[in-house]
């Protein structure tokens, strides 16, 4: 039986309803029910930043403060803040990133994820950093594993893993407009809109940007880019334990690239279109127990057409490529008890690549791979944790691969730990290295072959061991991360050029050309082989000091020594493919409560980028940003001036061909 | 002739009977002097009831009638009875029914204040669920010694007026950063304004601000700025607040017993709004580590908090 409320109760109820109706958070909750009602677990293991003290691998976190202070507006530049990471750009393709050497124009040994979505493409294996449908302004933080992590991420998490985590619409509100303009035609206009009610939050961002990235140096390639980017993120919370995330994005733009006055590689627009749709469901069972299911589809199309005059006839070139990926992954984590924590997961992926130019066929190259992965952590004692992880996968080129890892972390003090880890990881060859057949044909006759991946090379393999220390010195307010490492890389996949007889060249192919090969336009082909082994040994240090009211100083230093192993002939530049020493310094100075200056200095000793790259002499670059923060705590935007590379143009990929241009631009970001 | 003096009446039987009557009356009064009214019989109410009956029995008293107002009509309070009312609605009904002594428990400060304002005749005492602000700030000081300012979001239904909060925060040695929020959409911008690099967010039991729909925005935004949130329930700590101090129904039951039995006449218990005396703490160690706060166990934190209370 329900009694009619007595007058006083009615009055109270009226108070409560009146109070609540003033807000859109209309709830039947009474004040007392707030004290005992259940609420969703928000900061689950997957939402918390990776703890550097407990991690079984060396982790660097680039947080929002560093991102904003750096002045970087392109994603790949953020990796300059990671000790040991080599970042470069060139005029004929996307920027490239490597760690401990072996880098070339198509950096494909670091796995890159955006909110858990692998964005390395299936053909080159690299990341088209400037084409990703997100902007630096969308990034919450970047978590970087500075070494192999195949046990967690499978093949191609070979030299590191970069996990870019975007801002949650739940943590944003209102609207933001950003305008940047600078010399060399730099323009960048973006808008971010946020909204939501109760269990639904959303964000839409859109931007248009363009810049002259490279002027032609010594008659070599130039590059101007333009990009339109839009992305959407919707978060739904249908119940206390469930979250559904829908993300979609698109980039449309072009690179105006090529060599001025070159008949074979003329300046022209390479048009790019990249899309993705990602659906994720997360169910939380507890702070350290959750189930996640994620599906995504992404595709990319590149188009560049030109004509090479070839005497009696013109030779049309269609540098077209279409990529598609569909990926489904399920992951379950659970804390079994105080001592044991387990993670298991499975995933399946389908990659499809279609390119007449690179495969000499209109038929798509399709591969399906699956993986099972697990990680088990045992807190053996109060101080010692043992982590065992492994990834078993079936790769469409390399077959079955197993990447194991063992890590021991020992807590010296509450926020100080020693870490020892060892394991194996692999890099499977990409479609380019395993299937490419780039040829020029006429009337069923092959006039020339450039790339011919005749045999699938074996996957590259790295066996690593490292000893690290991560700690917080309370008295100095200083965070330290240091380690020494040894990584042995075997079965390095390299390209090998040879010529088909009759030829005057020294290197004659030890295999026959296709039967319809006539070689009127050239007799040299490039094949891919496992060619060489190296050992990279070194040390890394990162010191992060903060003092509220003063600012922050982050210093990074890495030393790497690469030596060749084995007797097989290999690229002599391989042992020089990482700088022996790299240093970084970021200083953030709070001038007043609303003025902030930040300085970034990045220095590396001489090194050689492989293949399309070349020697880069010792040198440094200095960036400076001065910002006037708007609104309380500077959260309503900023007015800033940023100068990148105060030293002027500098070589960072190929001393003979390219100069990384300096940049000066102003930023106005307004939020309301 | 000697007259015999009349013998005094034999009172032994009378005394015996009177004694028995007294014992019976005492027993009856002890059994029936405390009634419990509850809005419904849930786990929360049962936890309180079990602890309350046990504690009262130890003091030589028993709970009389237990009325579940969700299933039975509102009873008429017997004269001379103390009614322990669980929650706002049961308290309001007991007062409306003319009870002369009502001890309200499992009630928020905001509701207790509203009920108390209507209680002109002084019948109401209330042990509120809200932890006193100084206790919560003392906990923050122990947990995060580097925090210099305390951010608070105030809704229309805020349990504490802004002036009182400002005063309490300043008295604890922090700089107050208060923001008023009228709509859910204003929560994140308000947080952005008040979360400075040296601050912590003090979550308050304000149903317009801190509810299940807003918890994600609040905790994620605070975490994005790497600022700790002090929760007010174990659930909030589990969700991602770095720590919280709270009282369980059993803690409140113990205090209610102590309050009622502090004097011989159970009805003469102290009236007015009373803070919870017995409390526990919870720490989300994962969040604490992730924010780089000094490591401390729940036992140590509670002990230090008790020491702080003792030294006040």
* d(C-alpha B243, C-alpha B228), whole Å: 8
Q: Report how far apart, in Å, the C-alpha atoms of B273 and of each of A30, B130, B166 are.
A: 19, 11, 20
B162 and B242, same structural domain? yes
Residue A2 clears pLDDT 60, i.e. is over it: no
Total domains in chain B come to 2
Partner A contacted by B24 (CB < 8 A): no
Residue B26 clears pLDDT 60, i.e. is over it: no
Contact criterion met (CB below 8 Å) for A100 and A82: no
Scanning every residue of chain B, which has its alpha carbon at the shortest distance from the alpha carbon of A590? B197
B50 and B37, same structural domain? yes
Note whether residue A444 is domain-resident: no
A204 and A137, same structural domain? yes
Distance from A21 to chain B by nearest Cα, in Å? 9
Residues of B in contact with A472 (CB under 8 A): 292
What is the percent of chain A with per-residue pLDDT over 90, rounded to a whole number? 68
Question: Based on the number of CB atoms within 10 Å of its own CB, is B21 exposed (0-12), middle (13-18) or buried (19 or more)?
Answer: exposed
A30 and A172, same structural domain? no
| More confident call, B279 vs A447 | B279
| More confident call, A24 vs A656 | A656
B196 and B71, same structural domain? no
B68 and B51, same structural domain? yes
Cα dihedral angle (A390, A394, A398, A399), rounded to 10 degrees? 110
Per-residue pLDDT band at B15 (split at 50, 70, 90):
low
| More confident call, B118 vs A619 | A619
- Supply the pLDDT for residue A299: 97
Note whether residue A602 is domain-resident: yes
Alpha helix (H) residue ranges in A45-167: 64-70, 150-153
Residues of B in contact with A174 (CB under 8 A): 189
DSSP conformation letters of B113-152: HHHHHT-TT--EEEEESSPPHHHHHHHHHHH-TT--EEEE
Note whether residue A202 is domain-resident: yes
CB contact under 8 A, B87 and A32: yes
Residue of B111, B220, B233 for testing the chain A interface, max A β-carbons within 10 Å? B220
| Range with the largest mean pLDDT of A463-467, A549-553, B217-221 | A463-467
Residue A28 clears pLDDT 80, i.e. is over it: no
A63 and A32, same structural domain? no
CB contact under 8 A, B284 and A287: yes
- Supply the pLDDT for residue A238: 86
- Supply the pLDDT for residue B11: 57
pLDDT in tens, A34-58: 888 878 778 776 677 667 888 899 9
Note whether residue A608 is domain-resident: yes
A359 and A215, same structural domain? yes
A619 and A484, same structural domain? yes
- Supply the pLDDT for residue A582: 97
Residue A600 clears pLDDT 80, i.e. is over it: yes
B84 and B33, same structural domain? yes
Distance from B161 to chain A by nearest Cα, in Å? 14
B142 and B125, same structural domain? no
Scanning every residue of chain A, which has its alpha carbon at the shortest distance from the alpha carbon of B218? A171
Lowest mean pLDDT among A134-148, A157-171, B23-37, B94-108: B23-37
Residue A9 clears pLDDT 80, i.e. is over it: no
A149 and A91, same structural domain? yes
A381 and A290, same structural domain? yes
B295 and B164, same structural domain? yes
Note whether residue B304 is domain-resident: yes
Query: What mean pLDDT comes out for the span A509-536?
Result: 90
Contact criterion met (CB below 8 Å) for B159 and B132: no
CATH assignment of the domain containing B200: 3.40.50.2300
Residue B23 clears pLDDT 60, i.e. is over it: no
Per-residue pLDDT band at A447 (split at 50, 70, 90):
confident
Per-residue pLDDT band at B62 (split at 50, 70, 90):
confident
Per-residue pLDDT band at B27 (split at 50, 70, 90):
very low
Lowest mean pLDDT among B6-10, B43-47, B139-143, B260-264: B6-10
Partner A contacted by B108 (CB < 8 A): yes
pLDDT in tens, B172-207: 999 999 999 888 778 888 888 888 888 999 999 888
In 3-state terms, what secondary structure has residue B167? Answer: helix
A234 and A139, same structural domain? yes
Place of tokens 């602890």: B51
Residues B94, B96, B99, B103, CA torsion sign: positive
Residue of A173, A237, A282 for testing the chain B interface, max B β-carbons within 10 Å? A173
- Supply the pLDDT for residue B41: 78
Query: Which of A23, A170, A632 is the closest to B182 by Cβ?
Result: A23
Note whether residue A505 is domain-resident: no
CB contact under 8 A, A35 and B246: yes
CB contact under 8 A, A38 and B106: no
A254 and A172, same structural domain? yes
Partner A contacted by B68 (CB < 8 A): no
A386 and A297, same structural domain? yes
Contact criterion met (CB below 8 Å) for A112 and A124: no
- Supply the pLDDT for residue A246: 97
- Supply the pLDDT for residue A187: 95
Note whether residue A94 is domain-resident: yes
Note whether residue B284 is domain-resident: yes
Contact criterion met (CB below 8 Å) for A281 and A236: no
B204 and B283, same structural domain? yes
Note whether residue B67 is domain-resident: yes
Per-residue pLDDT band at B16 (split at 50, 70, 90):
low
Note whether residue A338 is domain-resident: yes
* d(C-alpha A565, C-alpha B65), whole Å: 87
B177 and B202, same structural domain? yes
Mean predicted lDDT score pLDDT of chain B: 86
Distance from B284 to chain A by nearest Cα, in Å? 9
A101 and A23, same structural domain? no
Distance from B16 to chain A by nearest Cα, in Å? 47
Per-residue pLDDT band at B5 (split at 50, 70, 90):
low
Query: How high is the ipTM of this complex?
Result: 0.80
Residue B292 is part of which domain span?
133-246+279-310
| More confident call, A671 vs A423 | A423
Note whether residue B4 is domain-resident: no
Residue A32 is part of which domain span?
7-36
Which of A510, A420, A423 lies closest to A469, judged by CA?
Answer: A420
Note whether residue A435 is domain-resident: no
- Supply the pLDDT for residue A98: 97
The two three-digit tokens of residue A205, written as one number: 């961002």
A464 and A354, same structural domain? yes
Residue of A42, A52, A139 for testing the chain B interface, max B β-carbons within 10 Å? A42
Total domains in chain A come to 2
CATH assignment of the domain containing A76: 2.40.170.20
Lowest mean pLDDT among A20-29, A117-126, A374-383: A20-29
Report the b/e string of A339-367 with b at 16+ CB within 10 A: eebebebbbebbbbbbbebbbbeeeebeb
CB contact under 8 A, B156 and A19: yes
Query: Which of A3, A63, A171 is the closest to B74 by Cβ?
Result: A3
B175 and B302, same structural domain? yes
Residue A103 clears pLDDT 60, i.e. is over it: yes
Scanning every residue of chain A, which has its alpha carbon at the shortest distance from the alpha carbon of B70? A2
Residue B141 clears pLDDT 70, i.e. is over it: yes
Per-residue pLDDT band at A160 (split at 50, 70, 90):
very high
- φ/ψ region of A661 (left if φ > 0, alpha if ψ in -120 to 50, else beta) reads beta
Residue of A2, A23, A140, A170 for testing the chain B interface, max B β-carbons within 10 Å? A23
Residues B97, B98, B103, B108, CA torsion sign: positive
Note whether residue B16 is domain-resident: yes
CB contact under 8 A, A34 and B70: no
Which of A231, A213, A233, A317 lies closest to A274, judged by CA?
Answer: A231
- Supply the pLDDT for residue A315: 79
- Supply the pLDDT for residue B14: 52
- Supply the pLDDT for residue A170: 82
Partner A contacted by B63 (CB < 8 A): no
* d(C-alpha B94, C-alpha B76), whole Å: 9
B233 and B118, same structural domain? no
pLDDT in tens, A68-94: 999 999 999 999 999 999 999 999 899
Query: What mean pLDDT comes out for the span B207-232?
Result: 88
B103 and B179, same structural domain? no
Distance from A468 to chain B by nearest Cα, in Å? 19
CB-side neighbour CA atoms (13 Å) of B12: 1
CB contact under 8 A, A43 and B209: no
Note whether residue B3 is domain-resident: no
């Amino acid at each position: 039986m329900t009694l009619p409320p007595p007058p006083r109760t009615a009055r109270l109820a009226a108070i409560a309803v009146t109070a609540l109706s003033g807000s859109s958070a209309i709830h039947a909750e009474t004040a007392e029910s707030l004290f005992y009602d259940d609420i969703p677990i928000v900061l689950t293991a997957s939402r918390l930043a990776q703890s550097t003290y407990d991690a079984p691998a060396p982790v660097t976190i680039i947080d929002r403060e560093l991102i904003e202070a750096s002045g970087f507006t392109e994603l790949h530049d953020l990796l300059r803040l990671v000790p040991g990471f080599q970042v470069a750009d060139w005029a004929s393709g996307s920027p490239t990133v490597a760690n401990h050497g072996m880098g070339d124009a198509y950096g494909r040994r670091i796995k890159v994820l955006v909110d858990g979505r692998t964005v390395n493409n299936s053909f080159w294996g690299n990341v088209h950093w400037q084409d990703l449908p997100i902007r630096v302004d969308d990034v919450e933080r970047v978590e970087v594993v500075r070494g192999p992590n195949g046990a967690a991420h499978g093949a191609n998490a070979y030299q590191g893993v970069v996990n870019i985590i975007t801002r949650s619409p739940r943590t944003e509100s209102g609207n933001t407009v950003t305008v940047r303009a600078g010399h060399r035609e730099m323009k960048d206009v973006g808008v971010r809109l946020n909204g939501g009610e109760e269990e639904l939050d959303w964000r839409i961002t859109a931007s248009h940007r363009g810049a002259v990235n490279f002027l032609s140096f010594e008659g070599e390639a130039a590059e101007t880019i333009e990009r339109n980017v839009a992305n959407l993120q919707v978060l739904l919370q249908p119940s206390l334990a469930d979250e559904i995330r829908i993300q979609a994005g698109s980039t449309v733009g072009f690179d105006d690239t090529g060599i001025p006055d070159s008949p074979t590689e003329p300046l022209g627009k390479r048009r790019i279109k990249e899309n993705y749709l990602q659906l994720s469901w997360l169910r939380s069972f507890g702070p350290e127990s959750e189930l996640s299911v994620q599906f995504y589809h992404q595709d990319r199309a590149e188009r560049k057409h030109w004509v090479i005059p070839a005497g009696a006839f013109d030779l049309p070139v269609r540098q077209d490529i279409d990529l598609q990926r569909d990926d489904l992954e399920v992951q379950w984590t659970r804390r079994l008890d105080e001592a044991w924590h387990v993670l298991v997961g499975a995933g399946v992926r389908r990659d499809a690549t279609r390119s007449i130019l690179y495969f000499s066929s209109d038929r798509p190259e399709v591969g399906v791979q699956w993986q099972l992965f697990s990680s088990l952590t045992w807190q053996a004692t109060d101080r010692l944790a043992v982590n065992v992880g492994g990834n078993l996968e079936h790769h469409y080129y390399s077959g079955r691969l197993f990447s194991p890892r063992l890590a021991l972390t020992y807590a010296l003090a509450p926020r100080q730990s020693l870490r020892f880890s060892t394991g194996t990881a692999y890099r499977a060859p990409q479609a380019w290295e395993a299937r490419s057949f780039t040829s020029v044909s006429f009337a069923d006759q092959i006039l020339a072959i450039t790339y011919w991946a005749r045999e699938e090379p074996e996957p590259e393999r790295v066996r690593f061991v490292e000893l690290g220390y991560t700690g917080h010195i309370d008295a100095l307010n200083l965070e330290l991360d240091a380690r020494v490492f040894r990584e042995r890389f075997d079965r390095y996949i390299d390209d090998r050029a040879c010529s088909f007889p009759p030829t005057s060249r020294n290197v004659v192919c030890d295999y026959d050309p296709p039967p319809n090969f006539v070689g009127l336009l050239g007799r040299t082909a490039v094949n891919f082989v496992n060619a060489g082994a190296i050992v990279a040994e070194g040390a890394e240090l990162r010191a992060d000091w903060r003092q509220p009211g003063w600012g922050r100083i982050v210093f990074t230093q890495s030393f790497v020594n690469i030596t060749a192993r084995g007797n097989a002939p290999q690229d002599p530049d391989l042992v020089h493919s990482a700088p022996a020493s790299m240093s970084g310094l970021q200083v953030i100075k709070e001038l007043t409560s609303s003025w902030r200056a930040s300085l970034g200095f990045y220095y590396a000793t001489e090194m050689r980028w492989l293949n399309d790259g070349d020697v880069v002499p010792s040198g440094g670059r200095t960036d400076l940003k001065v910002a006037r923060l708007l609104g309380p705590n500077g959260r309503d935007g900023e007015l800033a001036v940023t100068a990148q590379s105060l030293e002027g143009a500098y070589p960072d990929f190929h001393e003979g061909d390219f100069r990384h241009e300096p940049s000066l631009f102003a930023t106005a970001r307004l939020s309301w | 002739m000697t007259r015999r003096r009349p013998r005094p009446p034999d009172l032994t039987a009378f005394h015996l009977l009177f004694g028995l009557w007294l014992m019976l009356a005492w027993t009856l009064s002890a059994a029936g002097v405390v009634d419990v009214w509850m809005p419904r019989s849930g786990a929360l109410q049962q936890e309180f009831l079990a602890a309350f009956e046990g504690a009262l029995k130890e003091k030589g008293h028993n709970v009389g009638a237990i009325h579940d107002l969700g299933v039975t009509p509102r009873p008429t309070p017997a004269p001379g009875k103390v009614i322990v009312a669980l929650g706002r609605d049961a308290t309001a009904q007991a007062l409306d029914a003319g009870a002369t002594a009502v001890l309200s428990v499992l009630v928020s400060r905001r509701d207790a204040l509203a009920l108390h304002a209507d209680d002109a005749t002084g019948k109401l005492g209330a042990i509120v669920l809200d932890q006193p602000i100084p206790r919560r700030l003392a906990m923050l000081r122990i947990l995060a010694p580097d925090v210099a300012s305390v951010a608070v979001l105030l809704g229309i239904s805020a349990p504490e007026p802004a002036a009182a909060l400002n005063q309490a925060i300043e008295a604890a040695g922090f700089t107050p950063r208060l923001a008023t929020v009228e709509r859910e959409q204003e929560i994140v911008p308000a947080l952005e304004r008040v979360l400075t690099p040296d601050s912590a967010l003090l979550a308050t039991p304000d149903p317009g601000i801190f509810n299940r729909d807003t918890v994600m925005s609040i905790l994620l935004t605070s975490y994005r700025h790497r600022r700790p949130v002090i929760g007010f329930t174990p659930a909030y700590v589990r969700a991602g607040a770095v720590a919280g101090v709270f009282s369980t129904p059993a803690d409140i039951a113990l205090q209610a017993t102590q309050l009622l039995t502090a004097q011989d006449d159970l009805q003469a218990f102290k009236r007015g709004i009373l803070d919870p005396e017995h409390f526990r703490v919870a720490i989300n160690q994962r969040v604490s580590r992730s924010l780089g706060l000094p490591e401390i166990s729940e036992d140590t934190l509670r002990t230090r908090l008790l020491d702080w209370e003792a030294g006040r």
